[in-house]
Amino acid sequence: MDFGILSGDHLKASSDLGIPLVAVGLLYKNGYFTQRINAFGHQESEYQNIDLYNLPINPVKDDLGEDLVISIPMLGNDLYLKVWEIKVGRVNLYLMDSDIEKNIEEYKNITLRLYGGDKEMRIRQEIVLGMAGVKLLKVLGYNPTVYHMNEGHSSFLTLQLIKDVMDEKQVSFNIAKEIVTSKTIFTTHTPVPAGNDIFDLSLMDKYFNGIWDEYGITREEFLKLGMRETENLESGFNMGILALRISGKKNGVSKLHGAVSRELFADVWPEIAPNESPITYVTNGIHTCSWLAPNIKELYNEYLVPYWQENIHDNNTWKKISSIPDERLWAEHLKRKERLMTVIKENITERFRKSGYGYEQIADFTSKLNPNALTIGFARRFATYKRATLIFKDIERLTQILNDKDRPVQLVFAGKAHPADIEGQDLIKQIHDIAMMPQFKEKIFILENYNMNIARYLISGVDVWLNNPRRPMEASGTSGEKASVNGVVNFSVLDGWWAEGYNGTNGWAIGTNANYESYDIQDTADSNSIYNTLENKIIPAYYNKPEGGISKEWLKYMKNSIISTGGNYSTSRMLVEYTENLYLPLCDQYNQNFTDLEKVMDFYKWKKAAKERWNEIEITQNDNIDNVKLNAGDVITVSCFVKLPNFDPNNVSVQVYYGQILENGTVNNISVTEMKKADKSSENSDVIKYETSIKLTTGGNFGYTFRVMPKHDMLIDSANMNLIKWMVK
């Protein structure tokens, strides 16, 4: 994930919307590498120090006008961190830098590079980000109501917050933990288990030795915070699990990724069915105005309502796109294509010159670049799951497709592989080698040093944006969102954002939602889908035009792309969702309930008692109309009896869980409805009758059952408690 870009867009949108947000990170002074692709197609990477004096970044000063330096203890030494500030509009971003004289030598490079070192370096970085980060905000005078952890790398912040609350309020670990839960949100950004750091117990012991004594808990209780219940201590301390266990709210970054995350982390809540575990989703977006090409933005200024830039997330804003004359939109798009052709030519020329090619040889590769040819772009990190070489699976067929005289097609690639990722680098070499094959010489291009600058030209200058990750491993993806608001049409696997963004008229889908027996079968199916769709749909649509004219059919795709994604996949929409569904509900919870220690203690006592007595709850039923044939539209009343020994009925939610029973015994179209106490419920017994009426949306064999879940005003998500009682038949 390119957190840098995504978080940058997150901050810009917060600034636009006036959301009071402050951000903390590490200053990776040596964080970005320049990529070269040599004559053999090998990636060469060169790390360079960023030039701090040429960036809008400044050291924060303390009261005496000196550079602000904070410190945390680490292994018997103090670790000092210089603080830098970047203003992103109205939002402040603070970056911590360990590369200062005051530090012992081995601490100086902690913040040098992202993913630079071994596990020990990683735990140090994460202690800085999480624990020093909390301290930094305090020193700067911030007192955030809600902390948002993006990915598990920052989840040690929960440990620091718990400590601070214990000290400030003189409360126990458990009470402090409840308070911290009401202040924390965790967003998981990856669908693969390896995306979360797991630290060996030796490292945890080394860096956190004794913290459990300060907390008043045992070492084992402490370590279990980063583990699933079923795991033994040896499995290591998982940063993602820590964040999931403590945070009040949790989310994935697209609808599909939410579902995948619920499965992936199902055993954090073993009692709750995976599809109901408490992880929601907020789909990633892009800071639209930052990613629109200047001439495209000007065109929108002309045709969209005034102040459209302030109403990015309003879908009505984008409907006006249809009023742009096709010829205008195409003319502006062509300008972007021509600009991209120049960028490709320069990039390739530079690369080939360094590899010792003469000008004539180079011209051989670039002179036939054609802005009128259908141009397909693929640019992203060369991680293997993105399958950059999938389109080459059948070279013969691709040769036919690219070399059609009347309907030529060009392919342009760009991307970096992590310097330690040998397989990723091999993908670059494969594409390089294929691009050198005689039949592809002026058809396939691979650009050096993919970065935001090159991304800008690509996402606005090609016609089709290709994305073929191995479903469902793309959590969201954002480059396709950047492309589509510029009128570049997506052609993508139904994964990440496109699984919800594709509507049948705004681009094309690769493959299906099927699960495959093997990677090989999946690759074959998906590559065939690519060729078929190119041959039968994309190429005909692009070239469906009169001599010298434009393709109305294509313009329709372009406009549908812009209209359907401009608002929905903006960081404005994303921030509004974070604010309405996550930030504000937590702020309200904290302010209304968690600042009052007595309330928190009562709540904790209630939780404890509920857990202890949960098994005494019994659900029974007197009538039985289960698995009967009913018609759609029928309204039926269902009831059950719930025995609640020593339970306040206000603290449970009794629910009917129902759906259509299919022939194979599974239940379809599941709904859940909360039931009410029946009027004539027996007064002084601990058995209470609950009932509700439900309207059936589908006919057929209908089945239902009852269940009880905990309910409390201070319970942020009822599934968080991992308690559920089903009726036993």
Ligand X SMILES: *Cc1c(COP(=O)(O)O)cnc(C)c1O
Candidates 28-36, 48-56, 448-456, 688-696: pick the segment binding ligand X (CB under 6 A): 448-456
Q: Which two tokens stand for residue 620?
A: 């029974």
- Nearer Cβ to ligand X (35/103): 35
- Report the candidate in 467, 489, 471 with the shortest Cα–Cα distance to residue 256: 471
CB of 484 to ligand X, least distance (A): 12
- What residues from 245 to 264 belong to the interface with ligand X (CB under 6 A)? none
- Binding of ligand X by 479 (CB under 6 A): yes
For the CB of residue 558, give the shortest distance to ligand X in the complex, in Å. 19
Asked whether 467 and 441 are in contact (CB, 8 A), the reply is no
Give the residue among 574, 578, 496 at the shortest CA–CA distance from 149. 578
- Other beta carbons within 10 angstroms of residue 495's beta carbon come to 28
When the beta carbons of 571 and 705 are compared against ligand X, the nearer one is 571
Contact 119, 35 (CB under 8 A): no
Structural element, H or E, at residue 281: strand 280-281
* Cα separation, 437 vs 455, whole angstroms: 26
Binders of ligand X among residues 352 to 381 (CB under 6 A) are 380-381
Least distance from ligand X to the Cβ atom of residue 574, Å: 14
Q: Which residues between 1 and 40 bind ligand X (CB under 6 A)? A: 2, 5
Nearer to ligand X, 177 or 482 (CB): 482
Q: Which is nearer to ligand X, 184 or 190 (CB)?
A: 190
Q: How far is the CB of 367 from ligand X (least distance, A)?
A: 28
Between 510 and 727, name the residue whose CB sits nearer to ligand X.
510
Q: Which is nearer to ligand X, 245 or 380 (CB)?
A: 380
Q: How many residues bind ligand X (CB under 6 A)?
A: 12
Neighbours of 685 (CB within 10 A): 11
Q: Does 455 bind ligand X (CB under 6 A)?
A: yes
User: Considering beta carbons, is residue 348 or 473 the nearer one to ligand X?
Assistant: 473
C-alpha 31/C-alpha 14 separation (Å) is 25
Binding region for ligand X (CB under 6 A) out of 26-34, 447-455, 540-548, 571-579: 447-455
Angle at 179 between CA 177 and CA 185, to 5 degrees: 90
How near is the Cβ of 257 to ligand X at its closest, in Å?
12
Report if residue 655 touches ligand X, rule: CB under 6 A. no
SS3 127: helix
Please give the full DSSP string across 364-409, using - where no structure is assigned. HHHTT--TTSEEEEEES---GGG-TTGGGSSHHHHHHHHT-SSS-E
**CB-wise, 224 or 456, nearer to ligand X?**
456
The smaller minimum CB distance to ligand X, of residues 74 and 114, is found at 114
Find the shortest distance in angstroms from Cβ 182 to ligand X: 32
Give the residue with the Cβ less far from ligand X, 90 or 381: 381
Find the binder of ligand X among 145, 174, 451, 579 (CB under 6 A): 451
- The region of 218-226, 358-366, 471-479, 546-554 touching ligand X under the rule CB under 6 A is 471-479
Q: Is 432 exposed, middle or buried (0-12, 13-18, 19+ CB in 10 A)?
A: buried
The vertex-617 CA angle with 613 and 621, nearest 5°, equals 180
Per CB under 6 A, 387 contacts ligand X: no
Nearest residue to ligand X, scored by beta-carbon proximity: 479
Please return the burial class of 188, using the count of CB atoms within 10 Å of its CB with bins 0-12, 13-18 and 19+.
buried
**Smallest separation, CB 294 to ligand X (Å):** 17
Query: Least distance in Å: CB of 224 to ligand X?
Result: 34
| Cα dist from 368 to 6, 332, 442, 695, whole Å | 36, 22, 6, 65
- The region of 168-176, 234-242, 340-348, 478-486 touching ligand X under the rule CB under 6 A is 478-486
d(CA 199, CA 237): 5
Residues 523-542 that bind ligand X (CB under 6 A): none
Please, which residue, 241 or 260, has the CB nearer to ligand X?
260
- C-alpha to C-alpha distance for 451 and 45, rounded to whole angstroms: 13
Q: How far apart are CB 454 and ligand X at their closest, in Å?
A: 7
Q: What whole-number distance in Å separates Cα of residue 509 and Cα of residue 498?
A: 8
DSSP 174-234: HHHHHHHHTTEEEE---SSGGGS-EE-HHHHHHHHTTHHHHHTS-HHHHHHTTS-TT--GG
Closest approach of ligand X to the CB of residue 369, in Å: 22
Q: Toward ligand X, which CB reaches closer, 107 or 450?
A: 450
What's the closest the beta carbon of residue 493 comes to ligand X, in angstroms?
12
Answer for which of 452, 597, 628, 632 binds ligand X (CB under 6 A) is 452
Q: Which of the ranges 320-328, 446-454, 642-650, 655-663 carries the binding residues for ligand X, by CB under 6 A?
A: 446-454
Q: Nearer Cβ to ligand X, position 182 or 479?
A: 479
Which window, 445-453, 552-560, 646-654, 685-693, contacts ligand X (CB under 6 A)? 445-453
The one among 478, 490, 492, 551 contacting ligand X by CB under 6 A: 478
Q: Which is nearer to ligand X, 452 or 632 (CB)?
A: 452
Please state, in angstroms and as integers, the Cα–Cα distance from residue 49 to each residue in 89, 386, 563, 579, 590, following that order: 25, 29, 41, 36, 42
Nearer to ligand X, 5 or 447 (CB): 5
Instruction: Work out how close the CB of 482 gets to ligand X at its nearest, in angstroms, rounded to a whole number.
Output: 6
Q: Which residue has the tokens 């629910």?
A: 655
How far is 223 from 233, CA to CA, in rounded Å?
7
By CB under 6 A, is residue 477 in contact with ligand X? yes
Stretch of 152-160, 450-458, 653-661, 681-689 lying at the interface with ligand X (CB under 6 A): 450-458
Give CA separation, 190 vs 72, 132, 217, 318, 476, in Å: 30, 25, 31, 30, 9
Least gap, CB of 281 to ligand X (angstroms):
16
DSSP assignment of 20-40 equals --EEEEE--TT--EEEEE-TT
384 binds ligand X (CB under 6 A): no
Q: Work out how close the CB of 175 gets to ligand X at its nearest, in angstroms, rounded to a whole number.
A: 41
Q: Is 46 strand, coil or helix?
A: strand
192 binds ligand X (CB under 6 A): no
Tell me which residue of 132, 117, 142 sits closest to 81, measured CA to CA.
Answer: 132
Query: CA-CA distance, 371 to 92, in Å (whole number)?
Result: 42
Of 268 and 455, which CB lies nearer to ligand X in the complex structure?
Answer: 455
List of residues contacting ligand X (CB under 6 A)? 2, 5, 380-381, 450-452, 455, 477-479, 482
